[in-house]
Each structure stands twice: as C-alpha cells, then as structure tokens.
C-alpha cells in the first residue's frame, strides 16, 4: 500500500469534486480540470476531504494508488492557487516579450522564437530576461517550461541559455595556454 496514497486530500469549500462517466471533475475559482480514472482506484468524496482507495491488493492497483492521489491533489491545488515556473534568460541580447497569449524570444537565432500559450496557461515577463509560465494544470505548465528551456539550454562554459530560476549551472574551466 502506498504511503502517499493513504494520505487524505483536503478540499477547500470553494472546490467541487465529482466522479462521472469514468472522469474526475474538479472545479474551483481558477477553472476546471478533468482526469480519466481507472478501475483499480476508487475515490471516497467527503465534504472536506477525499480518500483514494484501491480495489484489491494486486500489483496494478497498488501502483496506481499513490499516482491518482497525487493527480487529484494537484488538480485541487491547481484550481485554487495554480502553478508557476520561472525561467531566466542569460546571455547578451537575450530577451523575452509577451503580447497577449504569445511569447516571443530573442535568444541568439537569426529569427525570433514564438510560443503560443495553450488553454488555461499565461505568460508573464516581469523583466526582459525573466519568464513566468502560470497555469492550473501542473503537467502542462512543467512541459511548456521544459519546451521553452529546450530552445536554448544553458551551456557550461559561459552559462548562456535559458535556465530555471532555482537551477545551478555547473561551470567548466576553459582551455588554458601553456
């Protein structure tokens, strides 16, 4: 039995959780999220908490126990507070601009790189070298931030590129002359 799966999920009063037609529906002040359920896992929905239970003691059921507990927890947190990832651009002339739901990056290529925000995701640029990806779905926010970072990964010699704000780049020593 999963240690994470045993923990109950606390649900704020502003969040509604329902299971219909094989989907978990979570609705809150920031938006709505859906997740497909599996037969190995059942949800007991109370007024203030949700408990995830396994159908039997099979290996398949136990493997989904902690996963679905965390998925439902992330959905509840997403519709109440949301998730964000902060990226920093390091390099001469590297800058980012937002225009509505479009993010334009000038990161040393001959052309600007443009990203369109998916549904329920916003881009913010508090500074020309800082990008904040914000949304209610943790997986979508993380994948989009990883895609942006993949356009110009930080290199170990000068540290130029796009990095997460809490990421530390291990620097290498360059060539030395005789």
Exposed e or buried b per residue across 37-72, where buried means at least 16 C-beta atoms within 10 angstroms of its C-beta: beebbebeeeeeebebebeeeeeebeebbbebbbbb
Q: For the chain, state the CA radius of gyration.
A: 21
- Name residues whose C-beta falls within 8 Å of residue 91's C-beta, 6 or more positions apart in sequence: 107, 108, 152, 158, 160, 161
Structure tokens at 171: 């620097």
Q: How far apart are CA 43 and CA 1, in angstroms?
A: 15
Render pLDDT for 125-163 as a digit per residue (tens, 0 to 9): 999 999 999 999 999 999 999 999 999 999 999 989 999
Render pLDDT for 11-70 as a digit per residue (tens, 0 to 9): 999 999 999 998 999 999 999 999 999 988 888 998 899 999 998 888 888 889 989 999
> Which comes out higher in pLDDT, residue 64 or 2?
64
pTM of the model: 0.89
Classify residue 110 as exposed, middle or buried by CB count within 10 Å of its CB (0-12, 13-18, 19+).
Answer: exposed
Q: How far apart are CA 123 and CA 97, in angstroms?
A: 9
Neighbours of 104 (CB within 10 A): 15
- Do residues 105 and 149 lie in contact, with contact meaning Cβ atoms separated by under 8 Å? no
- Do residues 83 and 135 lie in contact, with contact meaning Cβ atoms separated by under 8 Å? yes
Render pLDDT for 66-83 as a digit per residue (tens, 0 to 9): 899 999 999 999 999 999
Classify residue 151 as exposed, middle or buried by CB count within 10 Å of its CB (0-12, 13-18, 19+).
Answer: middle
Q: Does the pLDDT of residue 177 top 80, yes or no? A: no
At residue 1, the pLDDT reads: 63
Tell me what percent of the residues of the chain surpass a pLDDT of 90: 76
């Amino acid at each position: 039995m999963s240690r994470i799966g045993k923990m109950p999920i606390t649900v704020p009063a502003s969040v509604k959780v329902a299971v219909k037609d094989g989907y978990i529906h979570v609705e809150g002040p920031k938006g709505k999220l859906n997740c497909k359920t599996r037969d190995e896992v059942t949800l007991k929905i109370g007024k203030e908490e949700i408990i995830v239970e396994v159908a039997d003691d099979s290996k398949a059921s136990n493997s989904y126990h902690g996963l679905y507990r965390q998925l439902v927890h992330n959905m509840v947190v997403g519709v109440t507070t949301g998730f964000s990832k902060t990226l920093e651009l390091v390099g001469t002339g590297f800058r980012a601009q937002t225009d509505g739901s479009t993010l334009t990056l000038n990161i040393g290529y001959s052309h600007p790189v443009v990203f369109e925000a998916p549904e329920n995701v916003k881009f913010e640029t508090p500074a020309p070298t800082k990008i904040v990806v914000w949304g209610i779905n943790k997986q979508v926010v993380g994948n989009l931030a990883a895609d942006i970072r993949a356009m110009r990964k930080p290199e170990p010699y000068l540290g130029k590129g796009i990095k997460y704000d809490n990421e530390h780049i291990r620097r290498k020593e360059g060539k030395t002359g005789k």
